Structure 1
Amino acid sequence: MHGDAMRAVASLAIASLALASCVALQMPGKRARGPLPAPSGELVALESRLRTHVEELAGRIGPRHRSRPGSLGEARDYIEWAWRRSGLTVHREPYASAHGGGVNLWTELGPSAGPLWVVSAHYDTVANSPGADDDASGVAALLELGARLAPEFAAHPERHERLRLVAFDDEETPAPAMGSTFHARALAAQGAEVRGMLSLEMLGAYDTAPDTQRFPVALLGLWYSTRADYLAFVGDWDSRELVRRCVGAFRACSPLPCEGMAAPRALRDIARSDHSQFWKIGVPALMVTDTSEFRYAHYHKRSDTPEKLDYRRLALATDGVAGVVRVLCSRAPNR
């Protein structure tokens, strides 16, 4: 068989596997439909804080690439300041790599030991993009998760499993130089019992018009909406139960539509964030995403600027993810 024909057959096989996996994995709950409800005062305030974070990271600081160490340093300082303002203790995790290394930042909520859940976003960008959606939107949500959940976890640590929030460096650098690679390996070396990991990877781009959502495999359009109005929880087949739990919890607490997908790793687009490094240590992990360039024309461009984002839906996404984390970290009475 000629090379082109072989590639065509392989692509068809991958598409069929991916579609079969998605169809086979029925998601709990009902997808939200119709117009969004009027926002509460709390949601409006959250929207304002998220906008402030994005404007600071992507507007004032701008591109956060290893070729701009000063900008990366400013971003780290801002993340640390925001978490400390929420009463959290912040740890810096420097690491060395062939690309020069970087620094992850993390903080923990809840009990001081025991099973661990990880939620992350990355604060670096490609060289010339200010990275408002990719991934200042995820970092903004991560900072607000800390602010919102810290009082709850501190008041009743016995009701929660441990939660680690991580701001990763070098997501835009190929593995094994990614900050998440070093962090995942360190957790494995420590023998940490990591129950699951969620990577917040671009949360701010939405469009309710028809035919605004594209897919890495065209057949997926038979199963998922072609309106880019939803948040997606995307994992590999081994993480399918985590995907189901997250989708069910999100749909139970948020009016923002969401979808779930668990597919074979042969569909490479499902691995395009820090969660994939946790698969390598045997941890169920997924990406929470607006689907990146499959709906957002400014991906990895100079035009990925703060005014492009939908802050109302970013606030709903953040609020919904907080609800998901509460469910995941809830300690059952018999544990």
Structure 2
Amino acid sequence: MHSSKNNMYADVEFLTSIRPYRNYKNLGSLKAVSDYIKQEFTKIGLPCTEQKWQAKGEEYTNIIASYNTSKTKRLIVGAHYDVCGDQDGADDNASAIAGLLETARIIAHFAPNLDYRIDFVAYCLEEPPFFATELMGSYVHAKSLKDANTEVLGMICYEMIGYFSDVPHSQSYPNATLASLYPSTANFIVVVGKQEFSHFNNQVHQFMRQKNEIDVQVISFPTGDDLAGLSDHRNYWAFDYPALMINDTSFIRNPNYHQVTDTIETLNFDKMCAVVNCTYHAIVNL
């Protein structure tokens, strides 16, 4: 209803066309991306800051844009902009950065009256070799919130929101139990979290479903290991903040995961718009 396919296509097109690829080794490319993200946030009038840290002797940057800055309680909405190795990374994770930017655009446009602040955060260093270390941009950000005694409502992580299929039996699963509980056609999006924060997970899920633009599923795993914690939301759990991931099931569905075939042509921008619209509805109703 609200989101723009053209905006998101332009975002993904920019991110996937950068050479050399936007991985941790190519600092100039990462700077081009962070500058683009900052520019897009600034265009819509959101105040923007840079959060910098050192990893392996180099400096990396998170971009943070804030809405409703007079409020103390915060909702974090984030996505990572780096890519794994030498590939376009259209789904992983240009799709999510496009979703993040478009969500911010809609918020800025409609200016909802909320009793909490929203911080939109674009992270660097989610991918290997930094994944699951304290050098991840999301860990740096989550720790900064804890150090400042920030009251956090929760964290919503966009991670791979662009790959879908309407072909029957296009959705695979790692085990029969999951296969028996979830759809067999890969045309849905999933709210992924852990049971400790199931109240937050279910709230987001219910509000997303109310929009009724795409099938939204939810799964709360017993622990944060394995499939539950495969993106930036994991680092908010480390500080006892509710956090979840909105995800197209990643490598369980998308054969292009971490491959050179992860290109813009493989994405479904209509479905991406639906995901953003549903997430927006959840964000402004929490």
- Bin the TM-score by the shorter chain: over 0.9
Counterparts in 2 of 1:266 and 1:78: CA distance versus 1, 3 Å: closer
Match status 1:218 vs 2:176? yes
TM-superposed CA distance for 1:61, in Å, is 4.9
Runs (4+) of structure 1 exceeding 3 A deviation are 98-101
Q: Contact between 2:194 and 2:224, CA under 8 Å: does it hold in 1?
A: no
> Residue deviations 1:68-90, cap 9 Å, x none?
11110110111011111111111
Match status 1:209 vs 2:164? no
SS of the aligned residue for 1:96 comes to strand
SS of the aligned residue for 1:129 comes to coil
SS of the aligned residue for 1:327 comes to coil
How big is the alpha-carbon RMSD for the aligned residues of Structure 1 and Structure 2? 1.6
TM-superposed CA distance for 1:240, in Å, is 0.6
The one-letter code matched in structure 1 to 2:237 is W
Q: Distance in 2 between matches of 1:219 and 1:285?
A: 24
SS of the aligned residue for 2:134 comes to coil
Of structures 1 and 2, the larger Rg is shown by 1
Q: Distance in 1 between matches of 2:178 and 2:252?
A: 12
> Residue deviations 1:292-335, cap 9 Å, x none?
1111011011111111100110111111111111112xxxxxxx
The answer for the alignment partner of 1:87 in structure 2 is 45
Q: 1:166 aligns with which of 115, 118, 121?
A: 121
The answer for the alignment partner of 1:315 in structure 2 is 273
The answer for the alignment partner of 2:247 in structure 1 is 289
The answer for the alignment partner of 1:261 in structure 2 is 219
Q: 1:128 aligns with which of 69, 86, 95?
A: 86
Unmatched 5+ stretches in structure 2: none
Q: 2:110 aligns with which of 137, 146, 152?
A: 152
Counterparts in 2 of 1:314 and 1:99: CA distance versus 1, 3 Å: farther
Q: Distance in 2 between matches of 1:257 and 1:215?
A: 17
TM-superposed CA distance for 1:215, in Å, is 2.1
SS of the aligned residue for 1:315 comes to helix
Q: Distance in 1 between matches of 2:230 and 2:27?
A: 24
Q: Distance in 1 between matches of 2:105 and 2:248?
A: 23
Counterparts in 2 of 1:262 and 1:84: CA distance versus 1, 3 Å: same
> Residue deviations 1:230-268, cap 9 Å, x none?
010000111111111111101101320010000112651
The one-letter code matched in structure 2 to 1:120 is G
Which has a greater percent of helix? Answer: 1
TM-superposed CA distance for 1:59, in Å, is 2.4
Q: TM-score by structure 1 length?
A: 0.81
Match status 1:58 vs 2:12? no
Matches within 5 A, 1:164-243: 164-172=119-127, 173-174=130-131, 175-243=133-201
The answer for the alignment partner of 2:77 in structure 1 is 119
SS of the aligned residue for 2:241 comes to coil
TM-superposed CA distance for 1:60, in Å, is 4.1
Q: Distance in 2 between matches of 1:318 and 1:61?
A: 28
TM-superposed CA distance for 1:213, in Å, is 1.1
Q: Contact between 2:160 and 2:250, CA under 8 Å: does it hold in 1?
A: yes
> Residue deviations 1:28-68, cap 9 Å, x none?
xxxxxxxxxxxx6x55xx01111111001112456211111
TM-superposed CA distance for 1:101, in Å, is 4.3
Q: Contact between 2:18 and 2:29, CA under 8 Å: does it hold in 1?
A: no
Unmatched 5+ stretches in structure 1: 1-39, 329-335
The answer for the alignment partner of 1:277 in structure 2 is 235
TM-superposed CA distance for 1:285, in Å, is 0.5
Count of equivalent residues? 283
Q: Contact between 2:63 and 2:121, CA under 8 Å: does it hold in 1?
A: yes
Q: Contact between 2:224 and 2:234, CA under 8 Å: does it hold in 1?
A: no
The answer for the alignment partner of 1:9 in structure 2 is none
Which has a greater percent of strand? Answer: 2
> Residue deviations 1:143-170, cap 9 Å, x none?
11111102433x74xx331111000000
Q: Distance in 2 between matches of 1:254 and 1:121?
A: 24
SS of the aligned residue for 1:234 comes to strand
Q: Contact between 2:75 and 2:119, CA under 8 Å: does it hold in 1?
A: yes
